């Protein structure tokens, strides 16, 4: 019953979701950038989800009923974006590649949020030598080139060779190792700040267990910045995955399509003027990363009142801000 009474006080669901509420807040150039980012991300997600329907051929398909595909065919006709030296259809591999990328990001970000948040909460709350050791280790990993961390991890997991799911998990873990220190730092700093708050102290007085305080009181307050870190890290995850793939440390070409790997194979084509094998997967990476970065940056700017663009006079949300400003100056 009490839940029903509380409900009307909350804002509509659409206003509370991270991205949609930000779109409503934004104006002008900021809004254009945010919307462009959202559109690019949507295209990426749709391509990933509907890859089996959208792609004209399979990612490792080199022949159909009419015979085997020509090698290095120019874009046009049966193969809109041409074929590679191995006879793969470039368009199909780019579309299937979005599925691989999405799966890896999902696995990586989920795992690193889980681990990073957990370690950050515990380290910040418990403190002492555990905290110090974890901070030194996290700082050491953080200072290190991300690609090298990912390479070492992927060697540790499976000597760098694997099939689809194994490969996705390996890449996911490798990228996780890169991101855990970042989540750890953010969450730990927040936890240390929140630990001194009165509501934590009162929970302790009431007799709540440490696990409950960490898991409920601090967790709910410390994780507000996560959507922002998520978008920023998702773009870095794509770049790391592409880098791993480019160095031959991704997923084997017969078990999945991967943009970085395709670019590696396209390098030798470039010298002979064959551009389509490399340009399309490359553009896919760039556009996806740009989309994620635009969303992440816009959210960041909108969360920071100093960077937020102001609405025109007469705008709906103008009134409360004006009142606040008067109060401050008075």
Nearest CA among 226, 306, 303, 232 for reference residue 25: 303
Q: For another protein, give the closer residue by CB, 62 or 137.
A: 137
SS3 178: helix
Output the smallest distance, CB 178 to another protein, in A: 10
Count of residues that bind another protein according to CB under 8 A: 49
Q: In which region does residue 160 sit, left (phi positive, over 0), alpha (psi from -120 to 50) or beta (all else)?
A: left
SS3 316: coil
Give whole-number Cα distances, 82 to 76, 78, 86, 274, in Å.
6, 8, 12, 10
Output the smallest distance, CB 231 to another protein, in A: 13
Where does the chain show beta strands of DSSP type E? 63-64, 67-68
208 binds another protein (CB under 8 A): no
Q: For another protein, give the closer residue by CB, 174 or 214.
A: 174
34 binds another protein (CB under 8 A): no
Output the smallest distance, CB 49 to another protein, in A: 22
Q: In the chain, helix, strand, coil percent, each to 5?
A: 75, 0, 25
Nearest CA among 269, 250, 308 for reference residue 34: 308
Kindly state the tokens that stand for 129.
Answer: 């030598």
- Contacting another protein (CB under 8 A), which of 16, 159, 216, 310? 159
Binding string, residues 296-315; x marks residues near another protein by CB under 8 A? -x------------------
The span from the CA of 22 to the CA of 34, in Å, is 8
47 binds another protein (CB under 8 A): no
Output the smallest distance, CB 301 to another protein, in A: 11
DSSP code of residue 68:
E
130 binds another protein (CB under 8 A): no
Q: For another protein, give the closer residue by CB, 119 or 263.
A: 263
Output the smallest distance, CB 322 to another protein, in A: 21
Part of the chain binding another protein (CB under 8 A), chosen from 62-70, 72-80, 132-140, 223-231:
132-140
- Contacting another protein (CB under 8 A), which of 84, 92, 112, 235? 235
Output the smallest distance, CB 311 to another protein, in A: 15
Contact in structure between 259 and 245 (CB atoms under 8 Å): yes
Kindly state the tokens that stand for 302.
Answer: 């909108």
SS3 48: helix
Question: Given the structure tokens 């022949």, which residue do they identify?
Answer: 63
155 binds another protein (CB under 8 A): yes
329 binds another protein (CB under 8 A): no
- Contacting another protein (CB under 8 A), which of 15, 139, 197, 201? 139
- Return all residues near 18 (Cβ < 8 A) that are at least 6 apart: 227, 299
Output the smallest distance, CB 87 to another protein, in A: 21
* Interface residue list for another protein (CB under 8 A): 29, 136-137, 139-141, 143-148, 151-153, 155-160, 235, 239, 242-243, 246-249, 260, 263-264, 266-267, 270-273, 275, 278-279, 282, 285-286, 289-290, 293-294, 297
């Amino acid at each position: 019953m009490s839940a029903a009474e509380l409900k009307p006080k909350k804002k509509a669901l659409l206003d509370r979701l991270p991205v949609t509420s930000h779109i409503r807040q934004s104006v002008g150039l900021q809004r254009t950038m945010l919307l462009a980012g959202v559109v690019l991300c949507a295209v990426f997600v749709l391509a990933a989800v509907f890859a089996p329907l959208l792609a004209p051929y399979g990612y490792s398909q080199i022949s159909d009923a009419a015979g085997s595909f020509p090698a290095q065919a120019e874009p046009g006709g049966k193969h809109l974006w041409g074929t590679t030296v191995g006879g793969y259809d470039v368009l199909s591999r780019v579309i299937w590649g979005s599925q691989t990328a999405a799966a890896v990001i999902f696995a990586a970000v989920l795992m690193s949020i889980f681990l990073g948040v957990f370690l950050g909460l515990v380290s910040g709350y418990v403190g002492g030598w555990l905290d110090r050791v974890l901070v030194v280790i996290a700082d050491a990993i953080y200072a290190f080139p991300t690609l090298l961390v990912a390479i070492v991890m992927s060697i540790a997991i499976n000597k760098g060779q694997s099939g689809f799911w194994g490969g996705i998990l390996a890449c996911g873990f490798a990228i996780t190792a890169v991101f855990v220190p970042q989540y750890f730092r953010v969450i730990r700093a927040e936890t240390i700040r929140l630990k001194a708050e009165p509501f934590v102290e009162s929970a302790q007085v009431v007799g709540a267990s440490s696990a409950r305080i960490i898991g409920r009181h601090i967790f709910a307050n410390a994780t507000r910045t996560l959507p922002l870190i998520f978008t920023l890290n998702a773009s870095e995850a794509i770049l790391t995955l592409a880098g791993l793939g480019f160095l031959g440390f991704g997923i084997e070409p017969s078990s999945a399509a991967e943009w970085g790997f395709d670019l590696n194979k396209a390098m030798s084509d470039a010298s002979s003027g064959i551009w389509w094998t490399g340009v399309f997967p490359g553009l896919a990476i760039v556009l996806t990363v740009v989309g994620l970065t635009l969303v992440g940056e816009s959210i960041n700017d909108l969360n920071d009142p100093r960077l937020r663009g102001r609405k025109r006079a007469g705008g709906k949300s103008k009134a409360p801000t004006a009142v606040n400003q008067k109060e401050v100056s008075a």
